[in-house]
Chains A and B, each alone.
Chain A
Amino acid sequence: MENVVTDENWKTCFCQLAPGLVLFARQWARSSADAEDIVQEAFVRFWRKQHDVSNRGLLYATVRSIALDFLRRDSRRARRESTAMSDVDQSVAPAFEIEDDAQRALVAALDHLPTEQREVLVMKIWSDLTFAEIASALEISQNTAASRYRYALAALKKNLATT
């Protein structure tokens, strides 16, 4: 494990993956600081176990697992455990660098997506994961991942059309 410290490759890997990972973690975190803490813990754990960095499905699964643990450890544990996913839906929005109103509307529409659709969309659009990698990260079938992606796009399109 000591060679990990001297191995600078992780910086290159991490800098490429970091925006997508933090965005992915923000679905369960209330702030970007929390999301970064989740990503930090996940990446350190992933790297220490000497997993192959090309295994992005496993890396995202690690982030997701730690994010869900983070939710459970929250001080609002009891309230969150009863309505965990709906609470997340209401409180968390992906963080983007918004340039105009159209993008603002798009981000607002993203905020209304169900978590199971939004996490697939985030991994597909902003991390370029394949459906196989998404399926691996979420422990679902590739067909389910593809279906959720299509449902997410359809829901976004419908939402944008009404606004």
Chain B
Amino acid sequence: MNDFSELEDQLRKLRPAQPSADLVTRIERALAEETSTPTAAVLPRERRFQFNWLSLGLGLAAAAALFLFAFIRLQQPATKAPNVASTSPGPVTATNAGGQFVPAGLTQVVYHTRDEGLHFPTSSSEPMRRVRSQTRDTLQWKNPKTGATLRISYPREEVSLVPVTGQ
């Protein structure tokens, strides 16, 4: 860099031309205005509204997919259940005191049953067969006015002892 030090000194001696006196005034005026000021030669670029079609399309597609998924889930409460043990049309209790929702159904789906063999419970002198079953219960309420539905679903495991009849 030492090779250029003399040249750099010569360059620094060159004085840039001073801006016109009214430049400061023009800037002051522009800053004082509420919005940016167009100048005689430089017009600020207009901010055009750029519609992003890709984002809109993706958003609509996602919304449609969500709606379709929710619709299918509502329309198929238990039809694909492998094994329906029992179904009763009316659940036992209402869901809210206002009575807007009325019971619409109770579904119990037994999706797994296992025979665990003979056991001798302490309370019984006879052997009993122990059967373990796994069930999913679904309770559903419906608002007749709005058509809204409310579903509660929970898993349940049940162990039952079946007396063995002596043959």
Which residues from chain A sit less than 8 Å from chain B, CB to CB? 4-5, 10-11, 14-15, 18-20, 22-23, 32-34, 36-41, 43-45, 47-48, 66, 69-70, 73, 94-98, 102-103, 106-107, 121, 125-126, 150, 153-154, 156-157, 160
Pick the contact of A41: B4, B24, B44 (CB < 8 A): B44
Q: Who on chain A is nearest to B22 by CB?
A: A36
**B interface with A by C-beta (< 8 Å):** 1, 3-4, 7-8, 10-20, 23-24, 26-28, 30-32, 36-37, 39-45
Interchain CB contact under 8 A, B15 and A41: no
Closest chain A residue to B13, Cβ basis: A103
Chain B residues lying within 8 Å of A10, measured Cβ to Cβ, are 27, 31
Bound complex: CA A117 to CA B17 (Å) = 20
Which of B8, B43, B45 meets A153, CB within 8 Å?
B8
B45 touches A44 (CB 8 A): no
Chain A residue at smallest Cβ distance from B41:
A37
Q: CA A98 – CA B14 in complex, angstroms?
A: 7
User: A15 CA to B40 CA in the complex, in Å?
Assistant: 22
Q: Is the CB of A18 within 8 A of B23?
A: yes
* B14 with A69: CB separation less than 8 A: no
- Complex A-B: 24 CB contacts under 8 Å: A5-B31, A5-B32, A18-B23, A19-B16, A19-B18, A22-B23, A32-B19, A36-B20, A36-B23, A37-B39, A40-B42, A41-B36, A73-B42, A97-B16, A106-B10, A106-B11, A107-B14, A150-B4, A153-B4, A154-B4, A156-B7, A156-B11, A157-B4, A157-B7
- 10 further A-B pairs in the complex, CB-CB below 8 A; given A11-B28, A37-B41: A4-B31, A18-B19, A19-B17, A32-B17, A40-B27, A44-B36, A96-B16, A106-B10, A121-B11, A150-B1
Smallest beta-carbon distance A112→chain B, Å: 14
Assembly CA distance A52 to B37 (angstroms): 22
Residues in B whose Cβ lies below 8 Å from that of A18: 18-19, 23-24
Given A37-B40, A73-B43, A153-B8, A44–B16 Cβ distance below 8 Å? no
Is A48 within 8 A of B36, CB to CB?
yes
Instruction: Give the residue name and chain of the B residue nearest to A1 (CB).
Output: B34
> A34 to B4, alpha carbons, bound, how many Å?
32
